[in-house]
Amino acid sequence: MKRARFGRRSGLPREAEELLRLAGGLAESHSRAEDAFWEHKLADAVDGLLQAGQEDSLNAALDHLYASSTQGYEELADMLESRAECGAQSRNDANVLLLAAPLLAWSRFSIPSSTLPTTVLANLRVHLRAHVLADGVKLALANALFSPDQLPQGYCETARFAAELGECALRDQDLPIDQETLPETTRFLSDVRYALFAIAAKPGAPLFSWQEGDGTRDVAAAQWRSQGGACLTPLLAGCAMETVLPDAFFAGCREADSASRPYSVRASVAFLSTTLDVAPDKLRAVVAAFHDRQLEEYRIGFTTLDNNSVLHGVVWPLLGAEDENGDVPAQIETALRECGINEILQLDQRFPLEYCDDCGAPMYPSPEGEAAHAELPEDKAEQVPKHLH
């Protein structure tokens, strides 16, 4: 009688099991020589799945490792990001890498996500070469300013985009983006925009200016802030803006997520202060933790000192492994104090992760400990677009 076959140990797809085996080998290796063996095998396996668009298998392997092996999870996540950023291809003649140049911006009106005109592209190219990239690196810019919801979504889509832009980088040519293919952007008071570009460098050659001579990241960041930011100013009329030093795609996006939290607090305080004509020290901030099944995010409600109505709010999302045990409330308090707000109320109670049924805006904590809809006084609200959250 034919015996029932045993199911695979984890119930995972076969490809995902192979990733677990290779990431596990890498996690347990104690020498560079053994690392190199596992890394090579893991890179090949990851490239195959990225090229085949097997996003589910990649995520299944990540989820499994997240629950069972911290080190294995880190190794696989690292490898997935780095293979996606290089287009899931190994070349003998060049190293190709997808990069992001994030911009933090806020506006009472609307932050554009648009096509980058030829003159701006040419300017960006000059300043990336002068301040951020190593000599002799070839470069391709995508001719769009992307909002977060327009970025490539997922590892496979990122790898496909990196391969396409990387091909352009080998020819030192920019890539036109069809705006019609990009999803519509949700409008926020404060948000991030990304210029995306790929570079191609000879194997073993430096990629960035800080890998050469006496270059440093700090010098590059300062120069990029003044010169690179200036290139984009004409596109962002009516917006206040700060740049973040360009970096490999995933690291650049993470850095932007992190920098955008205090930035959006500053934007909210500046917005309220000018709209209401009230100094920041006449504003109060109410901070509370919002939970779904677990802690999801912190939200900050703003009022004036003499009134309990929530006028505006901002969400402070959790990043990476952050949870209730971290120092997030202290970071929020620091960001608020740096804006000149002295009256800060940290509420202990757990709020449910509520949104307005009508407009979908998050509900913010009020000084009375309630979840409130942020509303500007009517005469002030007329000056700004509706649904600006």
Q: Which residues in this chain contact Zn ion in the complex, by CB under 5 A? A: 356, 358-359, 361
Pick between residue 43 and residue 361 the one whose CB is nearest to Zn ion. 361
Q: Which is nearer to Zn ion, 228 or 313 (CB)?
A: 313
347/361 with CB nearer Zn ion? 361
Q: How far apart are CA 372 and CA 312, in angstroms?
A: 10
Shortest reach from residue 345's CB to Zn ion, in Å: 23
| Amino acid code (one letter) for 283 | L
Q: Locate tokens 């995306």: which residue? A: 196
Q: Which is nearer to Zn ion, 137 or 372 (CB)?
A: 372
For the bound state, the minimum distance from the C-beta of residue 371 to Zn ion, rounded and expressed in Å, comes to 12
| Cβ–Cβ under 8 Å, residues 58 and 80 | yes
Q: How many CA atoms lie within 13 A of 6 on its CB side?
A: 3
Q: CB nearer to Zn ion: give 347 or 356.
A: 356
Q: Are 72 and 27 in contact, with CB atoms under 8 Å apart?
A: yes
For the CB of residue 376, give the shortest distance to Zn ion in the complex, in Å: 13
Q: Judged by CB, which is closer to Zn ion: 149, or 375?
A: 375
CB of 381 to Zn ion, least distance (A): 12
State the nearest-atom distance from the C-beta of 361 to Zn ion, in Å.
Answer: 5
Looking at residue 48, its amino acid is G
Between 170 and 356, CB nearer to Zn ion: 356
Q: How far is the CB of 362 from Zn ion (least distance, A)?
A: 10
- Give whole-number Cα distances, 210 to 96, 135, 221, 262, in Å: 18, 11, 10, 27
DSSP string, 205-255: S--BGGGSTT--HHHHHHHIIIIIHHHHGGGSTT-EEEE---EEHHHHHHH
The distance of closest approach from Cβ of residue 385 to Zn ion in the complex, given in angstroms and rounded to an integer, is 14
Query: CB 373 → Zn ion: shortest distance, Å?
Result: 5
- Which amino acid is present at 128? L
Residue 377 CB, nearest distance to Zn ion (Å)?
16
Handedness of CA 158, 164, 169, 174 (dihedral sign): negative
Closest CA to 264 of 225, 322, 303, 316: 316
Terminal alpha carbon distance of the chain: 66
The residue behind tokens 């620091």 is 334
Cα angle 98, 133, 254 (rounded to 5 degrees) comes to 45
CA atoms within 13 A on the CB side of 55: 10
Residue number, 12 or 361, with CB nearest to Zn ion = 361
Can you spell out the DSSP letters for 70-83?
A: HHHHHHHHHHHHHH
Identity of the residue, 319 or 359, whose beta carbon is nearer to Zn ion in the bound complex:
359
